[in-house]
Amino acid sequence: SKERQMKDANFPLDMEGRTFHLGSRKGEVSNRILSVGDAARAQLLSQFLKPFPNGDPVFNMVSSRGFSVTTGVVGDSDTTVSIVTTLMGLPNMDFVVREARAVVDGPMAVVRLGTCGALQPGTLGKILVPAEGCVLVHRNPDAFIDSEGEGLSPYLISRPVLPHPTLCDNLVSELQNTLPAGLDGLRCGINCTTDSFYSSQGRTSNAFDDRNENLVQQVMEEIPNAVSFEMETFQLLHLASCSKGTIAAAACAIGLAERANNEFMSPKQLVEMEEAAGKAAIDALVGFDLSKTEL
Ligand code: R1P
């Protein structure tokens, strides 16, 4: 609750050792984390987690900020996985990765399963995997200052950051096993993480000065193998690459809407893909050798 007494303003913890936003403490989060955007997806995929061998039930908590952590054992193994509801956007992924890192001992593996806008024709409903990397597409506020912004680009595109190659390979081969269409059900390429669902994904608006009418075209010209627009993966892969070799990360996302033709998946198709891709992501985490997080 908001009344929690905190200590250490540099990295706040409460009196029980719980982090400020994710709200978990040591012993509650596995070294293997599946990060998903919303609570319904976390709930759906918790079917793959079983009680602990000592009889303890699957652990579940929701923080006052709305993040959730569900930790249990996978299949007949004694390997644990935590499913974390990461909510949306770069800062929330930052909270999850940093605050999970603070309460987990030893190396970690994190896989994100999200939804995304599908950028390539014919990829609606496919799983889009940033095996070739992930860029950040973000608004450049300086370009919007009337007197000084002239000549500046209103959107900036970072250089790509890569997933952990072995973890990403694990994910692709597990997806091949679980997706109804096998390899045809996925497409690898570059993911574009954006700092807005609207402006920096090229959705136009009369209500704001967004200067984004040509943004999707610009992204596709600069990054011909761009497959997806979503909002968290860059932060995950970037932080993993800055984790001094302690975090391996990879990601995939379901092509929920195809941008070029404006088509959406049906809710039923979405749940089927969430289940299949979620199973694959959990199996990829379980099969990953944690001693190999260093690149
Ligand atoms: C936007 O609708 C949200 O959906 C996508 C985006 O990254 C953003 O978080 O992913 P999730 O379904 O995982 O939240």
For 44-111, give the DSSP string. Answer: HHGGGEE--TTSPPPEEEE-TTS-EEEEEEETTSS-EEEEEE--SSHHHHHHHHHHHHHH--S-EEEE
Query: What token pair was written down for 162?
Result: 């890569």
Q: What DSSP character marks residue 36?
A: E
> Considering the domain boundaries, does residue 168 fall inside one?
yes
Q: Which of 228, 231, 241 is nearest to 294 (CA)?
A: 241
Segment 249-281, tens digit of pLDDT: 999 999 999 999 999 999 999 999 999 999 999
Which residues surround ligand 1 with Cβ inside 6 Å?
Answer: 36-38, 88, 114-115, 197, 230-232
Mean pLDDT confidence for 60-66 = 97
Band of pLDDT at residue 77, cut at 50, 70 and 90 = confident
Mean pLDDT confidence for 35-42 = 98
Q: How far away, in angstroms, is 219 Cα from ligand 1 center?
A: 19
Mean pLDDT confidence for 214-227 = 98
> Which residue has the least CA distance to atom 3 on ligand 1?
88
Please give the radius of gyration of the chain, using alpha carbons only, rounded to the nearest integer.
Answer: 19
We report the CATH number of the domain holding residue 30 as 3.40.50.1580
pLDDT above 80: residue 24: yes
CB-side neighbour CA atoms (13 Å) of 125:
17
pLDDT above 70: residue 1: no
pLDDT of 243: 98
Q: What DSSP character marks residue 19?
A: B
Q: How far away, in angstroms, is 199 Cα from ligand 1 center?
A: 15
User: What is the predicted ipTM?
Assistant: 0.99
Share of the chain above pLDDT 90, in %: 95
Residue 38 alpha carbon, nearest atom of ligand 1: 14
pLDDT above 80: residue 2: no
**Domain residues for 66?**
6-292
Please state the domain count of the chain.
Answer: 1
Q: How far away, in angstroms, is 113 Cα from ligand 1 center?
A: 9
pLDDT above 60: residue 133: yes
For helices 90-103 and 233-241, what crossing angle results, to 10°?
Answer: 40
> Considering the domain boundaries, does residue 56 fall inside one?
yes
Candidate of 230, 264, 274 to mutate for ligand 1, largest count of ligand atoms within 8 Å of Cβ: 230
> Considering the domain boundaries, does residue 1 fall inside one?
no
pLDDT of 164: 98
> Which residue has the least CA distance to atom 4 on ligand 1?
115
Band of pLDDT at residue 150, cut at 50, 70 and 90 = confident
